[in-house]
C-alpha cells in the first residue's frame, strides 16, 4: 500500500524552474466505462483494500454522474495510453441531523489520486485546473477539505484561491486519521 499523501516538500520558487513539469502527452478526460478497471486499480494501489470494491465504487461514481450531471464529475489523467490518476467533484449536502461542525452544502473538489511515480510533476495541479471551471460554471464557490496533516494538498489548493475557513470539521464518511478536518473555499473569480 502506498502512502496516502505525498511527502511534504514546501515550494521553493528557485527550485520550481528545475522541477519537471507534466509530461507533454498528458491528457485529462471524463471517466468512461473503459476507465473503470484502471481507476479501481489506482485506488487499490493507494489503499490496498481490494480491487473488486473499487470497481463497485467506480461504477457507482459513473451512475451518480448519470443521475446528477451537475453534482458529480470524475476525470482521469493519462500519459500516453496509461491512466496515472483521477480526481472527482461532488456535491455534499449534509442532512439536518448532521453535527453542527458539518461541512456546508456545496460542490467539493476531492479524490485526487496520482500514482506515486507521477507525483510532483504537476498532475494534481492539472487535475485541479480542469475541475475549477467545471465548478464555477455551476456555483459561485468551490470547496475542498483535507486532513490537517496533508500540507502538500493545502499548498496546491492555495494556488487556486482556496483559503482556510474552519478546522475540526465533519464530512460524511471521512475519518481524518492522524489529524483534523480543515475546510477551504474559493470564490468564482470576477469577470
Handedness of CA 171, 4, 163, 72 (dihedral sign): negative
Residue 81's Cβ-side half-sphere holds a number of Cα atoms within 13 Å equal to 1
* Bridge partner residues of 110 (DSSP): 88
Show the domains of the chain with their CATH numbers: 25-187 (3.40.630.30)
Give pLDDT, residue 5: 54
Q: Which of 51, 49, 172, 20 is nearest to 110 (CA)?
A: 172
User: Which pLDDT score is estimated for 184?
Assistant: 98
Q: Quick: pLDDT tens for 5-41.
A: 556 566 565 555 556 778 889 999 999 999 999 999 9
Mean pLDDT of the chain: 89
* HEC profile of 37-63: HHHHHHHHHHHCCCHHHHHHHHHHHHH
Separation of alpha carbons 14 and 1, rounded Å: 33
pLDDT (average), residues 159-168: 96
Q: pTM for this structure?
A: 0.85
Amino acid at each position: 500500500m502506498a502512502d496516502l499523501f505525498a511527502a511534504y516538500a514546501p515550494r521553493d520558487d528557485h527550485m520550481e524552474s528545475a522541477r519537471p513539469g507534466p509530461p507533454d502527452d498528458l491528457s485529462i478526460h471524463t471517466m468512461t466505462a473503459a476507465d473503470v478497471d484502471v481507476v479501481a486499480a489506482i485506488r487499490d494501489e493507494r489503499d490496498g483494500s481490494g480491487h473488486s470494491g473499487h470497481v463497485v465504487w467506480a461504477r457507482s461514481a459513473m451512475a451518480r454522474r448519470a443521475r446528477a450531471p451537475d453534482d458529480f464529475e470524475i476525470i482521469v489523467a493519462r500519459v500516453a495510453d496509461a491512466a496515472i490518476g483521477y480526481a472527482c467533484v461532488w456535491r455534499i449536502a449534509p442532512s439536518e441531523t448532521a453535527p453542527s461542525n458539518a461541512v456546508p452544502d456545496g460542490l467539493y473538489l476531492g479524490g485526487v489520486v496520482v500514482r506515486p511515480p507521477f507525483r510532483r510533476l504537476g498532475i494534481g495541479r492539472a487535475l485541479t485546473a480542469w475541475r475549477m471551471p467545471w465548478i464555477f460554471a455551476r456555483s459561485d464557490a468551490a470547496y475542498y477539505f483535507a486532513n490537517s496533516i496533508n500540507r502538500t494538498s493545502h499548498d496546491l489548493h492555495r494556488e487556486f484561491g482556496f483559503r482556510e475557513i474552519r478546522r475540526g470539521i465533519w464530512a460524511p464518511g471521512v475519518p481524518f486519521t492522524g489529524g483534523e478536518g480543515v475546510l477551504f473555499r474559493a470564490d468564482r473569480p470576477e469577470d
